[in-house]
A and B are shown apart, each in its own frame.
Chain A
Amino acid sequence: MSDQSKPNRPAKRKLSAKHVEQNRREFLRTSALAVGVMGFSLIGLLPAVQGKSLALRPPGALKTPTDEQEFFSSCIKCGQCVQVCPVNAIKLAELDKGAGIGVPYIDARAQACDFSCDGLQCVLACPTGALTHDLDYPADARMGFARLAEPRKCLAIQGKGFKGQARGPDYEGILRYDDVDRWNPIPVADYPYDLELCDLCVRQCPIEIRIAQCAAAAAEGEQNKDRVAQRQGNECPPKHAIALEPFGGDDGIKRMKPVILEGCVGCGVCEMICPPEPPAIVIDIMQDADNMRGAS
């Protein structure tokens, strides 16, 4: 942009002072816009890079417990997984998650994934493979791993039973109860319990429910079992995810302690159903069954 034009070209018309000033201002405005827009979008990378955007993700999410970069990059932020979920467990992240905006997550305490759909509808709906199709059955999911975070809150450890609505009358979460309706989830508030010793985390665990179904089918005959196996995964029954073990007991009170086993997929139903506030059991998203194997 120098004033010396090539000799064979007609000399450029000289710009007036006003014109030069206009051009200078336009250049400044353009630079400011570029810096502003790029700056804002780069700030969006911070939550992801700092690991502040980690969350419980739908089954099959392309991630490791500590690295969600692949999941963020492959997700096209369309929310089709949100739309197909029968229990509305999946939400889309907000702008505070920066580049994670529009990426699906699950707030297990509010509404966990209980695999009501059986067929992993969210995985099937995903157009980009961010929820990988390598996943065939709920038992293959590695969303996280349950952890007894507040043992002193646990009713079973206290030796207490539970009577009433697990999360109170105003709780909006829903779960599928086989004995009520095999196909349609109902509000947890509509299903009061009366338990001598609280075992809600084991009782409502989708994996444990499946094991029971497999056992029931097996009791009815080999053919029936094969059919159930086909529907619920070739591993029928799947591995146990959670169990209650006797605990303490010198004081004469019968106490039990929830123990998380290698079959846990981290769906979050135990965290959702646990009556105390805050819940005794939570999902640790930094772990999964593959990490835990042999660790305990």
Chain B
Amino acid sequence: MSYIIESFRQLFGSEPRRPAKSEISPEAQAVHVYKKQNPFDKDAFEVARQAHAGNAKKWRNRRWTTLLVVNLLFVVSYYFDVQLLEGALTASRFMGFHMADLNSALQVTLAFKHMVLNLVIGTATIFVLWVLLGGRTFCSWVCPYHLLSEWAESLHLFLAKKGWVKDRSINRKVRSIFYLLFALLALATGYTVFETISVTGIVSRALIYGPGVAMIWVGLVLLFEVFYSRRAWCRYVCPIGITYGVVGAISPLRVKFVLKDCHHEGECRKVCLVPHALDMTVKGKAVHTEVDVSADCTRCGMCVDVCPTNSLRFEIKGLGKHL
């Protein structure tokens, strides 16, 4: 329950709290104290980092492959008329079985105030799918804009290193305001207002049906991310992330933080789309020896890839299994 509450707090934009001493379990407290008395050896860390280097792109490669395969499946299905995965990311049929993007379905339902059976079936299917797979997993493993945004992020980081651009923070709470406003607008105007600017829908349709002027909007958003604010759309705007985040709050597939071997050097927070979710990796902040990363996490695995000590790993809650 506390996991769900903490997930919702972070999804809607609150910063993680610094735990009071009394909240930290004795076991975790013992580890914190031990680490204080026996600081890690810098050379030992360097050795661990070198040893890990070969593994550093494992999850990224798996994820990019999945993302490309899913989106190409849409393209190929239409282009060669194989009818495997018809439609676009907003709604589709997989071998004839209906699927509907949860956020698009929500916008349509709010605007139209009516849901036909096919949409109910499609929405329920996708809901169950993402409960099993982790909710915001959609963002990093399926959303085609995410991949473009990752490339823009690489460029941003390169330019930032040169000192030519810098990342300007924006209050994360604004995403909740967007969420609320778009829901109210759909309800009040009867138009799916968010779909007009949804880069996910635009890029998905552009891939399948050919690009159009809407890609200019996508380009502008990407430029904003490169030159003004890192990963701004996914971090501060996109309501799709909240919708799937809420689903992910009850998902058993999570990233878990294991306190014991963590050097607290913070590499994971530097690569993360949602660094606030990794706040427990800051020295002295973990309340237990193992802490699950909140549902705002997109399960992209970049922290898992970058962590030299395997202190962050995928787990399936309840199965006690690590991926």
Contacts and interface: CB of A to CB of B under 8 A. Distances in A.
Interface of A: 25-27, 29-30, 33-34, 37-38, 40-42, 44-45, 48, 69-70, 72-80, 82-84, 92, 94-96, 98-99, 101-102, 125-129, 133
A99 B193 CA distance: 6
B169 interface: yes
B190 A95 contact: no
B168 A29 contact: yes
Given A27-B171, A99-B191, A78 B196 contact: no
A25 B104 CA distance: 33
A83 B122 contact: no
- What does DSSP make chain A's interface, helix, strand, loop or mixed? helix
B74 to A, nearest CB: 10
B193 A42 contact: yes
Interface in B68-125: 77-78, 86-93, 98, 100-101, 104-105, 108, 111-112, 114, 116, 118-119, 122
A40 B197 contact: yes
Contacts of B111: 72-74
Best-buried of B108, B118, B174, B196 by chain A (most CB within 10 Å): B196
A42 to B, nearest CB: 7
Contacts of A79: 87-88, 205, 208-209
Question: What are the nearest 3 A-B pairs in CB distance?
Answer: A44-B196, A73-B111, A78-B91
A70 B190 contact: yes
Contacts of A73: 108, 111-112, 186, 190-192
B193 A45 contact: yes
A140 B311 CA distance: 64
A99 B112 contact: no
A26 B171 contact: yes
Given A44-B193, A125-B93, 5 more contacts: A33-B174, A41-B182, A76-B90, A77-B192, A79-B88
A126 B112 CA distance: 15
Question: Number of contact residues on B: which range applies?
Answer: 35 or more
A80 B213 contact: no
- What does DSSP make chain B's interface, helix, strand, loop or mixed? helix
Contacts of A101: 195-196, 202, 214
A74 B114 contact: yes
B194 interface: yes
Contacts of A128: 91, 100, 108, 112, 116, 118-119
Contacts of A84: 86
A26 B197 CA distance: 23
Contacts of B236: 30, 33
29 contacts: A26-B171, A30-B236, A33-B174, A37-B178, A37-B197, A38-B178, A38-B181, A40-B217, A44-B196, A48-B191, A73-B191, A74-B111, A75-B192, A76-B90, A76-B91, A80-B87, A80-B93, A83-B86, A92-B205, A95-B196, A95-B217, A99-B191, A102-B88, A125-B86, A125-B93, A126-B118, A128-B116, A128-B118, A133-B116
B55 interface: no
A278 B81 CA distance: 34
A98 B185 CA distance: 15
A83 B202 contact: no
